[in-house]
Amino acid sequence: MASENIRPVMTAEEVNTYLAQVYPQLNDTLAEYYAVSVAPGQCVVRLDASQKHVRPGGTVSGPSLFTLADIGGYVCVLSHLGQEALSVTTNLNINFMRKAEPGPIDGHCRILKMGRSLMVFDIEMRSPPGGPVVAHATGTYSIPPRK
C-alpha cells in the first residue's frame, strides 16, 4: 500500500536513540512516544498513554493523539531520509472516531508520497494495538533542500 521505491536508512532503535540525543528536553515525552518499527515506506509509533494524557471522562485527549500522528510523520521522514532532514509539519488533518483508553496506542504510518520538497503520510491509530481505529490523520512535512 505504501510507496514501494523507498528504503529506510535508520532502524526504530536508531531513531529513538537519535531523538533522545538531540532533543534532551523531550526525554520525558520520548519515554511515552517512540518508534516501534520501521519498514520500507512505513513505520509504527506508539504512545503509552497514562493518566497524564487523559481528559475528563477517562478518554485519551485529542492533543495526545495529534502528537502521536505528528511523531509518526516525523519518524517516517527521519528513518527514510536520515538525520540531516530538518523537516517541519505544514499541514495535519485528524479525525477522531472512537474513545481511546489509557494504555498503548499504536500508530500505523504510511508514506503516501516522498517528493523532493514534501512528504505526505497517513496514520491509523489503534487502541489497544490491533483494536479498532480510534483516530486517523493525514499530514504533510516540508523537506528542506538536500545537498
Q: Measured in whole angstroms, how far is the alpha carbon of residue 4 from the centre of its chain?
A: 19
Q: Does 147 bind its own copies (CB under 8 A)?
A: no
Q: How far is the CB of 51 from its own copies (least distance, A)?
A: 8
Cell matching residue 116: 523532493
Q: Is residue 138 at the binding interface for its own copies, with CB under 8 A as the rule?
A: yes
Q: What residues from 43 to 102 belong to the interface with its own copies (CB under 8 A)?
A: 51, 55-56, 62-63, 66-67, 70, 88-98
Q: Which residues pair with 123 in a beta bridge?
A: 109, 137
Mark the segment that binds its own copies (CB under 8 A) among 9-17, 41-49, 75-83, 138-146: 138-146
For the bound state, the minimum distance from the C-beta of residue 38 to its own copies, rounded and expressed in Å, comes to 20
According to the 3-state scheme, what is the secondary structure of the chain?
Answer: CCCCCCCCCCCHHHHHHHHHHHCHHHHHHHCCEEEEEEECCEEEEEEEECHHHEECCCEECHHHHHHHHHHHHHHHHHHHHCCCCCCEEEEEEEEECCCCCCEEEEEEEEEEEECCCEEEEEEEEECCCCCCEEEEEEEEEECCCCC
Q: Return the residues of window 110-129 that contact its own copies according to CB under 8 A.
A: 112-113, 115, 117-118, 120, 122, 124
In angstroms, the CA 146 to CA 4 distance is: 21
If the CB atoms of residues 51 and 147 are measured against its own copies, the closer one turns out to be: 51
Q: How far is the CB of 50 from its own copies (least distance, A)?
A: 12
Binding site for its own copies (CB under 8 A): 1, 3, 22-23, 25-26, 51, 55-56, 62-63, 66-67, 70, 88-98, 112-113, 115, 117-118, 120, 122, 124, 132-133, 136, 138, 140, 142
